[in-house]
Amino acid sequence: METKIGVLALQGGVAEHLNHLNQIENVRAVAVKKPEELNSCLGLIIPGGESTTMRKLIKDYDFKKAIKDFNQQQKVIWGSCAGLILLAAEIEGENEEQLALLDIKVKRNAFGSQLDSFIEKDIIPKVSTDPQELVFIRAPLITEVAENVEILYQKEDQIAAVESEYIIATSFHPELTDSTIFHQYFIEKVKSLSN
């Protein structure tokens, strides 16, 4: 059976996520531009981009309630980079209204500016036993996690990927690598919860 996955297509790295998802067997990826398009999706990716712009567009296009409802239906959401920021309960030094679906605290651009972007290789045990390329671009850092949030990856004491029952969040960009392994991990989580 085909698994339909939406990528929030308001701004940011939409095409890259669609490309990775469409390489996976029995997955159909769609660009989600209207809230009602979420109804037929089993999972949702909120891509990297400009979180302030994305937050404004989520409000302008009435996506906030739709995304919260999607989460309450126990469907899986993955936020990468800006997507992670939008899902967080708290952003250090800000009190902007968030989706607040993941009980974490984040610090914006904690890994530095665009010029400080970097790629490294490391193993994320729960995702794969092989080292993966991790692409950090103006990446946020997760500074606090609640008890119900599992740390998937941290570099020394810097948390860069977490997971809760229905949400995955990454500081880095798996969609900017050649590997689909992280997208496959997301799909397996979607399938296991939609059965």
Name the band, by pLDDT with cuts 50, 70 and 90, for residue 175.
very high
Residue 81 annotated among the catalytic residues of the structure = yes
* Residue 81 DSSP code: T
Q: Is the pLDDT of residue 160 over 80?
A: yes
- How far the first Cα of the chain sits from its last, in Å, is 11
Q: What domains appear along the chain, each with residue ranges and CATH number?
A: 3-194 (3.40.50.880)
Which of 42-46, 92-96, 178-182 is the least confident region? 92-96
pLDDT averaged over every residue in the chain: 93
Residue of 16, 20, 41, 175 with catalytic role: 175
Q: Is 108 annotated as a binding residue?
A: yes
Mean pLDDT of 97-125: 83
- Cα–Cα distance between 178 and 126 in angstroms, integer? 19
The percent of residues in the chain predicted with pLDDT above 70, rounded, is: 96
Mean pLDDT of 117-127: 93
Q: Is 13 annotated as a binding residue?
A: no
Q: Is the pLDDT of residue 113 over 70?
A: no
**What's residue 141's pLDDT?**
92
pLDDT, one tens digit per residue, over 54-88 is 999 999 999 999 999 999 999 999 999 999 999 99
Residue of 81, 94, 144, 156 with catalytic role: 81
pLDDT, one tens digit per residue, over 14-39 is 999 999 999 999 999 999 999 999 99
Residue 175 annotated among the catalytic residues of the structure = yes
Residue 41 annotated among the catalytic residues of the structure = no
**What's residue 93's pLDDT?**
85
pTM across the whole model: 0.95
- Cα–Cα distance between 30 and 80 in angstroms, integer? 17
Residue of 17, 20, 173, 183 with catalytic role: 173
Strand partners, 94: none
Q: Is 50 annotated as a binding residue?
A: yes
Beta strands in the chain (DSSP E): 3-8, 27-32, 43-46, 76-80, 88-91, 102-107, 118-122, 132-136, 141-145, 150-155, 158-163, 167-170
Q: Is 43 annotated as a binding residue?
A: no
